[in-house]
Structure 1
Amino acid sequence: MSRMRMRLVVLQVVVLSMLAVLGARLWQVQVVRGKEFVNAATETRTRSVMVPAVRGQILDSSGRPLVRNKTALVVSVDRQRLQRMPDGGAEVLAKLAQVLGKPVKQLEKRIRSCGAGVTRPCWPGSPYQPIPVDERVQTREALQILERQEEFPGVTAEVQAVREYPQGKAAAQLLGYLQPVTQEELDKRVGLKAGFSGVDLVGRDGLEYVYDEALRGKPGLRQVQVDRLGKVLGVEQQVAPTSGDTLITSIDARVQNVVEQAIAHAMKSAPKADGAAGVVLDPRTGRVIAMASAPGYDPTIWTGGISEAEYQRLLSDKSGKPLVSRAINGQYAPGSTFKVSSVSAMLQAGYPLHGTYDCPGSYMVGDRAFNNFHGIGLGPMTLHTALVKSCDTIFYRTSYEQWLKDGGLHPKTPPKEVFANMARSFGFGKPTGIDLPGESSGRIPDRTWKKDMWQQTSADNCKRSRTGYPEVKSASRAAFLKRLAYENCVEGFLLRPGDAANFSIGQGDVLVTPLQLARAYAALVSDGKLRSPRVAWARVRPDGTLVQTIDPPVVGKLPISAKDRAYIKDALSQVPSDGTAAGAFSGFPMDQVRIGGKTGTAQVWGKEDTSWFASFAPAANPRFVVVVMVSQGGMGATTAAPAAREIYEGIFGIKRPALVPGGRPASRLPLIAPDGTVAR
C-alpha cells in the first residue's frame, strides 16, 4: 500500500513539474516574447510582391511602333523552391509538363543555370528569379495551375508584357533584345537590385541596352495575405508600378524597310557577297534616319528562350554573324570614297584648288609602280575631274611627296602627316560616339600605329620568316607570306612609301565603318561640323509628357574652308551623271532630284572587292546622306551604287509614292496623347 502511495506521489510531482514547465513556457511565449511571435506570425501570412512595370515602347520618327508590348500568360517556376522538395521537384515538373504539353526534359533544361559546358536552352538569369518556362500559355492551362495550386507549389501563371516587333526583322541589330537579369548584375548594380521585380528583363544590345533604365520603369509593390499553401487570401496594400518611358527615335520605318530591301537585293546581285550595310543620316542634325545590316535576324528569336543551335547561328561566321551590325562594327577599306579626305589634305598641304594635275596610267612610288584603275591614263585634269573620274595616280603622287617631306624612312620630329591628320579630322580612326553599344573605331595607319603594330607582331613575324607557312597549300602564296614576314620582322615599324600611296586612296591598312563614312560626308556637304550621330530623339512619359530631347552633339569641325567644301561637293554632284556612277544612275531623273556621291572599290587579298557608294541628295541642298557597303560585292558602281539608287527612289518617290513627303526628314516629334496613343 505504501508502495502504491509512493508511486502516486511521484506521478503527482511529475505532472506538477510538467505543468510548471508548460506554464513557464506559456508565460515566456505570451508575455516575454509575445510581440516577437506576433510579428513573426504576421510575416508568415503576409507576402510582399514586386509588381513589374510595363516596359516602354520604341517608336519611329512618326510614332510608328518599332518595339511594343503585348500581353501574354506566362508560366514560371521557382527553382529554389523545387530544389527544397524531397524529390527535387520532379513530381511537380512531371505534372506541369503534362498540363503544358511539353516534355519534362525540356522544362528541366529551361530551368537549369547557364554556365561552362551547359548548352542552351538554359537560364542565364539570377537563380532567385522565377524562370519562365512557357510564354504562350492558353487560359485553360493557366487556370489548371492556379486552381490546383497545392499540386503545383513553386509554379505561377501570370499575365505579363512580352516584346513584339511590328516591323519584323527590320533594324534588329539597332533595336537590341532583352535577357534575364543575372545575379552578377544584381550584385554590381545597386540601383537595379533596389528596383528589381523578380521577373524583369534587361536590355542586352542596341537601344534596349543603352536606354534600359528609362525603358524599364519602376516596379510597384503589392502586400498580400496568403494561406499555408501560398494561395492569395486578400490584398493588404498596393503601390502601382510606374511604366517605362516611350523612346522616340529618328528612324523612319518606311525608309528603314527600303534600306533593308536594297542591301538584300545588292547581296543577291553579287554572288560572293557575304555582308552589307546601309546608313541614312540627316546631314543637318546628325540624326540616324535608317541603319541596316545584312544578314539580319528575327528579334522574336529571344522571346521564350533561345536554343543553342539558334544562338550559335547568330554568332557563326558561316551564317554571316547576323547578331553583329556591320554598320557600326564592320571595318572595311573604304576605297575611293576616302578621296574626299585626301583632296582636303592636299589643299591643306598647299596644293592649288584650281590647279592642273597629270593623271598618268601609273606612277613610281619609290621603286614600285602604282597603277591607275586598269592602268589607264587620263591626262591633265583638275581636282574636280579627279574626283569625278576617280583618278588614283594624282593621289599616289601627292601623298608620296608629303611622305618625303616628312623625312621618308627617317621621319622628322614630329612629322606633319597631313593625310593621316586630315583623316582624323573627318572622324576616322575613332568611334563616332553613337548611342549604340560596341561601336568599332576603324583604323588610321600612321607612323605611330606602325610602331605599335610591329611591337605586337614582330616576334611572330620573325618566327614565320624562319619557319615559313607550311600549312599554306599554294607555293607562291606561302613564299609571298614568308617574304612579307621577313620584311615586317626587320623593318615592320617603318611607314613605307607604298603605305602612304595606298592610304591616299583608302586602301592598305585603312579601315572605316559605314557609319563613320556617312558622318564624314554629312559634315562635308552641310555646315562642316562633325556630329556624334544619335538614333534616339526623345523620351516621353506614357501620357505624352516630354522628359528629354536627345540632340546629337557637335564633336569637331572639318579644317577646310566653306569654299573648299563647296568645290568638293560640286565635283561629287557630277559623279552619278558624268562620272564613275553614271551607269548605275542611267535614266534617273536628275532634273527632279540631283544625287551627289562617290563610288569606292576596295581590294581585299583573297576575296572579291568591297563595294562602296557614299552619297547625298538633293545635291544643292542635301537633306539625306546615304552610304551603302557590300562586302565582296565587287565594284562600287555595279553593286553599292544601284542599291543607293533604290533607296533614293523610295525616299523621293521615283516610280512609286514618296516615302518621305516633301523630301525632308521629320523635324517635329510625334504627339503622344494622354492615353498613350499617337495623336499624329
Structure 2
Amino acid sequence: MNLPPVTGPGRGHRPGRIGLFIAQALSLALLLVLAGRLWYLQVPRGEHYQSLAAANRTQDLVIPATRGQILDSNGRPLVRNHTELIVSADFHALAEEKDGGDAVLARLADVLDTPFEELRQRMRLCGPEVSRPCWPGSPYQPITLAEGIEPRMALQIMERKEEFPGISAQQHAVREYPQKESAAQVLGYLQPVTQEELEARETLRTQFSGVDQVGRDGLEFVYDDQLRGTAGVRKLAVDSRGNVTGVVEEVVPKPGMHLVTGIDATVQQAVEQALSKGIERSKGAGYPADAAAGVVLDVRTGRLIAMASVPTYDPSVWDGGIDQSTYEKLLSEKAGQPLISRALQGQFPPASAFKVSSLSAAVENGAKLTDNYDCPGSMNVGNREFRNYESGAYGSLSLHRAIVVSCNTVFYKFAYDQWLADGGTNPVGDPKDPMVDMARGFGFGRATGIDLPNEVTGRIPDRQWKKDYWKATRNDSCKRAKSGYPEQDDPQHAAYLKAVATENCTEGYTWRAGDAANFAIGQGDVLATPLQMAVAYAAIANGGTLYEPRVAKALISADGKQVQEVPPVEAGELPVSDTTLAYLRNALADVPKEGTAAGAFGGFPQDKVAIAGKTGSATVVGQRESAWFASYAPADDPRFAVVVFISQGGTGGSAAAPVAREIYEAIYGFGPEPVDPAKTEVDIKSDEQDERDGAEQKQPKPALPGGEPPSGLPTVRPDGTVQAP
C-alpha cells in the first residue's frame, strides 16, 4: 500500500550527507586556524608579547653621563662642565591635579618671574600637531621648565614643597669655556638630539632621553661618542594610570672620557691676539682687512698646536639653545662669518707661497739647480703680459735667489715651457702637467684628513677641470659677453670683465698658456687653505713626510685609569729628492734675512732661532691683496710650522710676516709677555698698572719652554683633578 508523503507546517527536507560533511569541515578548519594562531602567539612571538606586557608595567628613564672635558696639552681646560640650577616638573604629578596643574604653574611663574603661558607650553608633550615650545622627551623624564635660576628661587620652591607638588629644583651640568672665545671653531658646540635622529638610529634611543645634547661641530662632533660616555638607565615601576610606584632596576651612568689635545692654550691665545693686531694694522694702512687665519703645527708629528680664525665668537651662545637672529649673525658676511674656520674652510689663492711646489716641479723635470735664470720685469705669455710684483727686474739669478726675492717671471717661464712641451692648446696623447702633479704631491687639492669636520679640499685646476668648469658656466659667460657688466661703476673694469666673459664663452674649455703661468705662482684658479699650506711647509721642514694633522692627543677616562693615545698618521712623502729639498730649505732660510720678509724680521734674534719661510701676496679681481706667510723654525732643526693669512690685508711681507713674528716671539719668549690663560682680568689690570707705575718689566716667558711641546700627557687623578705633564 503506497502512502502519500507527509506534508504540512514544520516539515521540510533533511540535509544530505554532503551538507553535513561541509559543515564539519568548516568547523574543523576554524579550530585549526584558532589553534595555529594561539601557538604562534604563545611560542614564536611569546617573548615579544611578554616584553610588551612588561613595558606596560615599567618605563625606562635614561640618565645622561657627565660629559668629558677637552684639555690643552698641559691639562688646562678648554671646555669643562659647570653646574647650574634648573627647575623641572613631574608630568604625571601635575596631570593628577584637579586643574591639570595650572595653579601650581601659576605660583611657579610668580617665583621665576616667567609668563605662565610659557611654562604651560613647556609642559606639553611634543607631537606632529604640537608646535614649539614643547617637551620632546619622555613624560617619565623630569620636564625642564627653567634653566640657570638663582639660588633664592630654588630655595623658595624647596621650602614650600606643599605649594609646588611635582616641582623640583636641582643642579644640572652645562658646558663652560674658560678660555672664552679662544679656539671656538676648533672646539665646536652642543645641540639637542633631534627626534629624527632618535627615530633613525636604534642605538641612540638607548642613550638619549630626547633632550640630551650631541656634538654638532669641531672636536665635540668628532669625539662625541667618547666625550659623552655611557648613559645609565633607571627602570621605573608604574601602575595602570602611569604613576611611578618604585624603582625596579638601575644602571649607573659611566662618565665620558677627557680629550687631551695638542693645543697649547697660551700659543692659541698668542695666535689670536697677533691676528687681531695684524688686521688692525692693515686697516690702519688703508686695507679693508676683513678676516685672518693662523696655524701652528708640530712638523715632527703633524700635531696641531694652535689654529685660529678671526673673527671668532663666544661658543657659550649655544647654551640653552640659540635664537635665530644670533645664528644668522654667526653666518652673516657683514659680521665676518665667525662660525666658519678660515684655517680649514677658507679657500684662497696661495700666491707666491705656492712657489715651493713650482720650483720642485721644475727641478724634478729637468731644470738645473746650478744654473742661472733670467728675471725680467715682465714677459709675454700667449697674448698677455705677465709681470713681477711692482714690475721689478733682477737680471740673471739662481733659483735660490728667485725664491728669496720672489721673482715671478722665472716661474712663468718654467710653466710656459712645460705647457709647450705638453703640446700647448692641442696636446697629443696624455700631457704630463708636471706642475699639477707636483702640487697634488704636496697635498694641495685634497683634504688634509684632520680630525675636524667640514674641511674643504682647495682646488688644483687642470685641463679636465677647465672643461668641466666651462660646461657649467658657459651659458652665463655667453650672456655676459653680450650684455656686459652695466652694474659696474668703473668702465675700465667693466670692459675687462666683458672681455673675460667673451673669452670664456668661446674657448673657456682650453688650458691656455696664461692658465699655466698663473698656476706657477699660485694664482688664477688655484685655491688652498691655510691648513694645507701648513702641512706642506711642515713636510719641507721635516725632510718630506706629509702628516694628517691631528688635534687630539689622547683620551683619558674620568678616573685616569684608561688612556687611549691618538698616534700621528703619515699621509705620504713629498715626490721631491733630498737634494731639491735641501736646496729649497736653504733658500727659505734667507727670505726673512735678506728677502721679502726681511723688514718684518729686522731685529729678531735669528742667531738664537732662525726662521725659514715664504711670503705671498694674492690678488683676486675686485679685491685688494691678501697676505700670506708660510714658515717653519728653527730653520736648522725645525719643530714648528707657522702659517698666517690675512684677507685683503696687503702684501705678505708687510702684513702677514709681522704676525708670524709675533707668534714666534710668544713661542720662544722673545717678545712681550704673552697673556697667561690662567690669569684673571684683575691680574691683567694689575700688571698694566705696574707698567704705568714704572715697575720693572718681567722677562717674557716662552709659551713652550725649551721650544718643545710637552712630550707626556696630563695625569687625571681619581678625584677628577688634572695634573700637568
TM-score (norm 1): 0.87
* CA shift in 2, pair 1:408/1:126, >3 Å: farther
Q: Who is 1:354 aligned against?
A: 370
Deviation, 1:81, is 10
Aligned pair 1:570/2:614, yes or no? no
Amino acid across the alignment from 1:678: V
Q: Who is 2:438 aligned against?
A: 422
1:327 to 343, 363, 366: 343
Write out aligned runs for 1:90-169 (5 A). 94-104=106-116, 132-142=144-154, 144-145=156-157, 157-169=169-181
Deviation, 1:532, is 0.8
Distance (Å, rounded) in 1 between the aligned partners of 2:394 and 2:639: 33
Tell me, yes or no, if the aligned pair for 1:285 and 1:552 is still in contact at 8 Å: yes
Aligned pair 1:52/2:64, yes or no? yes
1:280 to 278, 296, 301: 296
1:598-652 Cα offsets, whole Å, 9 max, x none, are 1111012111111111111111011100001011111111111111111100100
Aligned pair 1:560/2:576, yes or no? yes
SS in 1 for 2:289: coil
SS in 2 for 1:601: strand
1:670 to 696, 711, 714: 714
Amino acid across the alignment from 1:603: T
Amino acid across the alignment from 1:194: T
Tell me, yes or no, if the aligned pair for 1:179 and 1:203 is still in contact at 8 Å: yes
Tell me, yes or no, if the aligned pair for 2:92 and 2:242 is still in contact at 8 Å: no
Distance (Å, rounded) in 2 between the aligned partners of 1:654 and 1:562: 32
* Structure 1, 312-321 or 195-204: larger mean CA deviation: 195-204
Q: Who is 1:213 aligned against?
A: 225
SS in 1 for 2:709: coil
Distance (Å, rounded) in 1 between the aligned partners of 2:121 and 2:659: 44
Write out aligned runs for 1:235-274 (5 A). 235-271=247-283, 272-274=288-290
* CA shift in 2, pair 1:122/1:315, >3 Å: farther
Tell me, yes or no, if the aligned pair for 1:133 and 1:304 is still in contact at 8 Å: no
Deviation, 1:198, is 4.1
1:388 to 396, 404, 408: 404
SS in 2 for 1:281: strand
Distance (Å, rounded) in 2 between the aligned partners of 1:604 and 1:454: 19
1:361-396 Cα offsets, whole Å, 9 max, x none, are 111111221111111110111111111111110001
SS in 2 for 1:270: helix
Q: Who is 1:30 aligned against?
A: none
Aligned pair 1:511/2:490, yes or no? no
* Structure 1, 626-635 or 106-115: larger mean CA deviation: 106-115
Tell me, yes or no, if the aligned pair for 1:345 and 1:418 is still in contact at 8 Å: yes
SS in 1 for 2:356: helix
Q: Who is 1:63 aligned against?
A: 75
SS in 2 for 1:574: helix
Q: Who is 2:650 aligned against?
A: 634
Structure 1 gap segments, 5+ residues each = 1-38
Distance (Å, rounded) in 2 between the aligned partners of 1:371 and 1:405: 22
Deviation, 1:126, is 6.3
Aligned pair 1:406/2:450, yes or no? no
Aligned pair 1:594/2:617, yes or no? no
Aligned pair 1:75/2:87, yes or no? yes
Distance (Å, rounded) in 1 between the aligned partners of 2:723 and 2:405: 50
Amino acid across the alignment from 1:494: T
Tell me, yes or no, if the aligned pair for 1:333 and 1:508 is still in contact at 8 Å: yes
SS in 2 for 1:598: strand
Q: Who is 2:697 aligned against?
A: none
1:318 to 334, 338, 354: 334
1:77-125 Cα offsets, whole Å, 9 max, x none, are 689999999999876654443222234576688789999xx99x96897
Deviation, 1:477, is 3.1
* Structure 1, 470-479 or 615-624: larger mean CA deviation: 470-479
Distance (Å, rounded) in 2 between the aligned partners of 1:110 and 1:301: 21
* Structure 1, 579-588 or 230-239: larger mean CA deviation: 230-239
Tell me, yes or no, if the aligned pair for 1:287 and 1:552 is still in contact at 8 Å: yes
1:467 to 483, 488, 501: 483
Deviation, 1:241, is 0.5
* CA shift in 2, pair 1:144/1:213, >3 Å: same
Deviation, 1:304, is 1.7
Deviation, 1:130, is 6.5
Distance (Å, rounded) in 1 between the aligned partners of 2:570 and 2:563: 22
Deviation, 1:195, is 1.4
* Structure 1, 289-298 or 186-195: larger mean CA deviation: 186-195
Tell me, yes or no, if the aligned pair for 2:195 and 2:210 is still in contact at 8 Å: no
1:291-326 Cα offsets, whole Å, 9 max, x none, are 000000001111122222211111111000101101
Q: Who is 1:174 aligned against?
A: 186
Amino acid across the alignment from 1:441: T
Distance (Å, rounded) in 2 between the aligned partners of 1:417 and 1:139: 70
Q: Who is 1:21 aligned against?
A: none
Amino acid across the alignment from 1:222: R
Q: Who is 1:3 aligned against?
A: none
TM-score (norm 2): 0.82
* Structure 1, 538-547 or 139-148: larger mean CA deviation: 139-148
* Structure 1, 123-132 or 411-420: larger mean CA deviation: 123-132
Deviation, 1:468, is 2.9
Q: Who is 2:17 aligned against?
A: none
SS in 1 for 2:360: helix
Distance (Å, rounded) in 1 between the aligned partners of 2:563 and 2:341: 29
* Structure 1, 350-359 or 280-289: larger mean CA deviation: 350-359
Amino acid across the alignment from 1:203: G
Amino acid across the alignment from 1:583: G
Amino acid across the alignment from 1:618: P
* CA shift in 2, pair 1:200/1:593, >3 Å: same
Q: How many residues align?
A: 641
SS in 2 for 1:364: strand
Tell me, yes or no, if the aligned pair for 1:361 and 1:371 is still in contact at 8 Å: yes
Aligned pair 1:448/2:464, yes or no? yes
* Structure 1, 131-140 or 452-461: larger mean CA deviation: 131-140
* Structure 1, 581-590 or 220-229: larger mean CA deviation: 220-229
Distance (Å, rounded) in 2 between the aligned partners of 1:434 and 1:360: 41
Q: Who is 1:580 aligned against?
A: 596
Structure 2 gap segments, 5+ residues each = 1-50, 672-699
Deviation, 1:573, is 0.6
* CA shift in 2, pair 1:324/1:153, >3 Å: farther
1:186-232 Cα offsets, whole Å, 9 max, x none, are 12222222211444210000000000011111111224568999997
* CA shift in 2, pair 1:153/1:557, >3 Å: farther
Tell me, yes or no, if the aligned pair for 2:138 and 2:210 is still in contact at 8 Å: no
Equivalent pairs: percent with the same residue? 55
* Structure 1, 509-518 or 124-133: larger mean CA deviation: 124-133
Deviation, 1:525, is 0.9
Tell me, yes or no, if the aligned pair for 2:135 and 2:143 is still in contact at 8 Å: no
Amino acid across the alignment from 2:198: L
Distance (Å, rounded) in 2 between the aligned partners of 1:90 and 1:184: 31
Tell me, yes or no, if the aligned pair for 1:525 and 1:566 is still in contact at 8 Å: no
Deviation, 1:665, is 1.5
Q: Who is 1:6 aligned against?
A: none
Tell me, yes or no, if the aligned pair for 2:358 and 2:435 is still in contact at 8 Å: yes
Write out aligned runs for 1:189-228 (5 A). 189-224=201-236
Deviation, 1:483, is 2.4
* Structure 1, 353-362 or 466-475: larger mean CA deviation: 466-475
